């Protein structure tokens, strides 16, 4: 099974326009050049928006949202449904369960390692005190 961005699985939206734009573009499988052609926005503007180096103009942003198939309000503000909301409710559930199992195993292994390290420190401190 393919690996997925954990933030998408957890529905954690980036809190900047650039992060949301990048996430929506990745979800749509569109590169910057293609998006520029579809939305009629210069590639340099898109790069600057994704890097959060300048404010996006509202008309251009609306065209970008339409080209990406996302809600313009979500793209501009982070409010509302993002690009993966519908996918997560169906086909993403098995992937999410697999990721949860993997994380739970890591959690258990980490706990075991912490306990071993704690015991080793205690042993060394006892030897030192003797």
Give the CA count within 13 Å in the CB-facing half-sphere of 122. Answer: 6
| 62, 76 contact by CB (below 8 A) | no
Q: Where are the domains of the chain?
A: 1-89, 92-130
pLDDT of res. 5: 57
Name which residue leads in pLDDT, 20 or 87.
20
pLDDT tens-digit profile of 51-84? 999 999 999 999 999 999 898 999 999 888 777 6
Three-point CA angle 67, 70, 72, nearest 5°: 95
Q: What percent of the chain has pLDDT over 90?
A: 55
The residue whose two tokens read 């015991």 is: 119
Higher pLDDT, 125 or 83: 125
Q: How many helices (H) and strands (E) does the chain have?
A: 8, 0
The predicted structure's pLDDT at residue 88? 47
CATH superfamily of 1-89: lambda repressor-like DNA-binding domains (1.10.260.40)
Instruction: Identify the pLDDT of residue 33.
Output: 94
Instruction: Tell me the C-alpha distance between 108 and 97, whole Å.
Output: 17
């Amino acid at each position: 099974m393919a690996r997925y961005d954990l933030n998408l699985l957890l529905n954690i939206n980036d809190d900047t326009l650039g992060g949301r734009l990048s996430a929506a573009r990745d979800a749509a499988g569109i590169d910057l050049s293609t998006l520029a052609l579809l939305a009629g926005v210069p590639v340099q503007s898109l790069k600057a928006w994704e890097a959060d180096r300048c404010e996006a103009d509202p008309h251009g942003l609306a065209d970008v949202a339409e080209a990406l198939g996302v809600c313009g309000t979500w793209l501009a503000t982070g409010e509302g449904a993002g690009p993966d909301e519908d996918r997560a409710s169906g086909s993403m559930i098995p992937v999410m369960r697999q990721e949860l199992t993997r994380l739970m195993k890591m959690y258990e292994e980490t706990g075991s390692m912490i306990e071993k390290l704690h015991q080793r420190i205690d042993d060394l401190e006892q030897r030192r005190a003797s």
